[in-house]
Amino acid sequence: MTRLATIVILLSLVLGGCGAKQAPAPTIAPPPANAIALLPEDDGSVGRIAVSNQAGAVTLEAPNTITLVAAIDVAPAAPAQVDPAEITRRFGTALDAMPAAQAEFVLYFDLGDDRLTAQSQALVSSIMEAVAQRQSTDVSISGHTDTTGTMSSNYQLALRRAERVAEILVAQGLAATSLSVESHGEGNPLVRTADGVEEPRNRRVEVTVR
Amino acid sequence: MLKLGAMRAIIGLSRGLALGLLMLACLSGSAQDAFVGSVKISTGQPQVIRGSEAIPATPGMRLQLKDSLRTGPESRIGVILRDGTRISLGPDSELALETFLFEPGKGEFGLLLKLFRGVAAFISGKIVELSPDSATVDTPVGIIGLRGTKFAVALGAR
């Protein structure tokens, strides 16, 4: 009698188990998808991004914070701090392919002239190094003057300065096709002054190597 | 067949026209408007999609407005735009350069990037520095407004 009862109980347990197996398996939550992270720059500085969609918006302001967004009609999740390993796991393949930052140089000129100061002459080799390191095909040269002289003569002077720098760089082996040259005349001073003011810091050519 | 022939003729014609326009643009010195950046890092075989063409993305290649960057399962790409913005894509990713407006002299700025799929990292440049409200990355799950500087996006499970 007790043996029969045991068998019945066991049988019902097994059958019950089978029954449970046939029921739909509990859905396994998919791994968190669609992640957006704010990261610190190499110098440690951090910016800010706003993530928004049909259902809501969040702002990321702290380094290594992440928001998960399930879909366009689901609000972005509250920002959460993650460790660097998590950042690498999610975004490492893209982060590894990040190019070097552009390099910026400022060259100075003698008053009213298109001759580089001796100090700036020495920067030319640094520019060529930056070009070589980046295998750059995009070098911008912009010429600037101070506010002595007329606006139109300053436009011409700034252009001459920029072209002079372009000549120097081409002579050093930079492909002319990689260069773009422009004049800002007296319109984009480094230091704001009244009209007709001699200001050595504004007599310059900016070179950007990308 | 006739239709196909006609279409090819039209495509041929429009290519010729495009080339002519490009040459004209070069002559008038405004071709730089279309030049928005260059490829810096290329591993595997990433591509630049330009119109209906898929061009192998090699370092130094110049990018134009409306170009898309595309990577396959084994490839990655890193580019720099003319304002210094840097973008890199991991495998199986696609991003379009929709809007690029960088005219500091005129105070005109704009940047719109569309990430369709995959994983991408961004470091903003002068556009965001000079005009913080004019840069956006569009994704299938929402838009990202940039105030700088470095951030990353991964679409799909990873």
When CB atoms are compared, the residue of A47, A95, A101 closest to B148 is: A47
**Higher local confidence (pLDDT), B7 or B104:** B104
User: Rounded to the nearest 10 degrees, what angle do helices A124-134 and A151-171 cross at?
Assistant: 60
Mean pLDDT of chain B: 84
User: With contacts defined as CB-CB under 8 Å, which chain B residues touch A72?
Assistant: 140-142
B34/A contact by beta carbon, under 8 A:
no
Alpha carbon distance A56, B142 (integer Å) = 9
**How sure is the predictor about B28, in pLDDT bands with cuts at 50, 70 and 90?**
very low
B120/A contact by beta carbon, under 8 A:
yes
- For the stretch B95-143, pLDDT in tens is 999 999 998 777 899 999 999 999 999 999 999 998 988 999 999 999 9
pLDDT, position A4: 53
Alpha carbon distance A63, A3 (integer Å) = 67
Helix (H) or strand (E) holding A95: helix A84-95
Pick from A202, A124, A107: nearest CA to A162: A107
Q: What residue segments make up the domains of chain A, in order of their start?
A: 35-95, 103-209
- Whether residue A56 contacts residue A75, with contact meaning beta carbons closer than 8 Å, is answered with yes
Closest chain B residue to the Cα of A44, Cα to Cα? B150
Q: Work out the average pLDDT over B82-101.
A: 97
User: DSSP class of residue A116?
Assistant: B
CB-based contact A93 B119, cutoff 8 Å: yes
* CATH no. for A103-209: 3.30.1330.60
Close Cβ partners of B37 (under 8 Å, ≥ 6 residues apart): A138, A210, B62, B63, B79, B80, B81, B82, B85, B97, B100
CB-based contact B84 A210, cutoff 8 Å: yes
ipTM above 0.90, yes or no: no
Q: What is the mean pLDDT of each run of 10 residues along chain A (210 residues)?
A: 52 46 53 85 89 97 95 95 94 96 93 83 95 95 92 92 95 95 88 90 93
User: Which residue do the tokens 């300065």 mark?
Assistant: A161
Helix (H) or strand (E) holding A130: helix A124-134
Closest chain A residue to the Cα of B135, Cα to Cα? A49
